[in-house]
C-alpha cells in the first residue's frame, strides 16, 4: 500500500448545493448543527438510487475514512463531482433533495483488497458484491476526484469500510432560505 494520501486537502467550511437553477453555499457548521449530524457522505447519483432501498449500507472509500461509530451522517447525492489534481481542490456541488440520514455502526481504515471477505459485501450496493466489483467502483468514483493518480495507484491505496444504519430518508430538499449565505 502507498503512504497515507490526503484526498481532502482542506477543511470544508462551506457546502455547495444546486437549488433550482442556482448554486448556493451554506456554512458547513450551521448545516451540521441544524440537522444534528457529524458530517456528510457524498454519493454519486448512480449509487445513491441503490441506497434508497436499503436499511443497512456498507460504504467503501479509498484508503481511509473519517467516519466514526456512533456518529450520524447525511448521505447526499452529488450533482457535479469535485476534483483534486494534487494541487487544486474543487468541492462537489450537491443536490438539494433526497437526503438519507444514517448512523455509523462500524468503520475501519487501510484494508487491502485481498483481506476482504464475502461477509463485508453483504450490505454493499447491489453492483458491489466482490473485490473485483469494488475495484471497478473505486476507479469509477475517483476517476475525476483523483485525476492525478493512475488506476493502479488508486487501487494500491487500499480501502476503508463504513457500515451505516439508515435512519430516515428525506424526499424533499432540506435547505431553507435562512441558511443560505
Torsion angle, CA of 116/121/123/124, rounded to 10 degrees? 100
Low-confidence ranges of the chain (pLDDT < 50): 177-178, 180-181
Per-residue pLDDT, 147: 83
Nine-digit cell at 2? 502507498
- pTM for the complete prediction? 0.87
Q: pLDDT tens-digit profile of 10-43? A: 577 999 999 888 999 999 999 999 889 999 999 9
**CATH number, domain 14-179, options 2.60.40.10, 2.120.10.80, 2.30.130.30, 1.20.1440.230:** 2.30.130.30
Q: Cα separation of 28 and 23, whole Å? A: 15
Give me the pLDDT at residue 88, please.
79
- How far is the C-alpha of 128 from the C-alpha of 14, rounded, in Å? 31
Q: Which residues contact 78 (CB under 8 A, 6 or more apart)?
A: 42, 43, 44, 45, 48, 92, 93, 94, 95
pLDDT at position 64: 87
Amino acid at each position: 500500500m502507498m503512504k497515507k494520501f490526503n484526498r481532502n486537502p482542506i477543511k470544508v467550511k462551506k457546502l455547495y448545493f444546486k437549488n433550482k437553477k442556482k448554486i448556493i453555499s451554506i456554512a458547513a457548521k450551521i448545516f451540521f448543527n441544524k440537522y444534528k449530524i457529524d458530517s456528510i457522505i457524498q454519493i454519486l447519483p448512480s449509487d445513491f438510487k441503490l441506497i434508497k432501498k436499503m436499511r443497512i449500507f456498507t460504504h467503501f472509500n479509498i484508503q481511509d475514512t473519517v467516519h466514526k461509530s456512533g456518529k450520524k451522517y447525511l448521505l447526499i447525492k452529488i450533482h457535479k463531482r469535485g476534483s483534486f489534481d494534487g494541487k487544486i481542490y474543487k468541492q462537489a456541488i450537491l443536490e438539494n433533495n433526497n437526503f438519507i440520514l444514517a448512523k455509523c455502526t462500524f468503520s475501519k481504515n487501510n484494508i487491502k483488497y485481498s483481506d476482504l471477505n464475502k461477509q463485508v459485501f453483504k450490505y454493499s450496493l447491489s453492483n458491489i458484491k466482490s473485490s473485483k466489483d469494488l475495484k471497478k467502483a473505486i476507479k469509477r468514483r475517483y476517476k475525476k476526484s483523483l485525476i492525478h493518480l493512475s488506476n493502479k495507484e488508486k487501487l494500491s491505496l487500499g480501502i476503508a469500510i463504513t457500515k451505516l444504519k439508515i435512519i430516515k430518508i428525506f424526499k424533499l430538499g432540506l435547505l431553507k432560505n435562512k441558511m443560505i449565505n
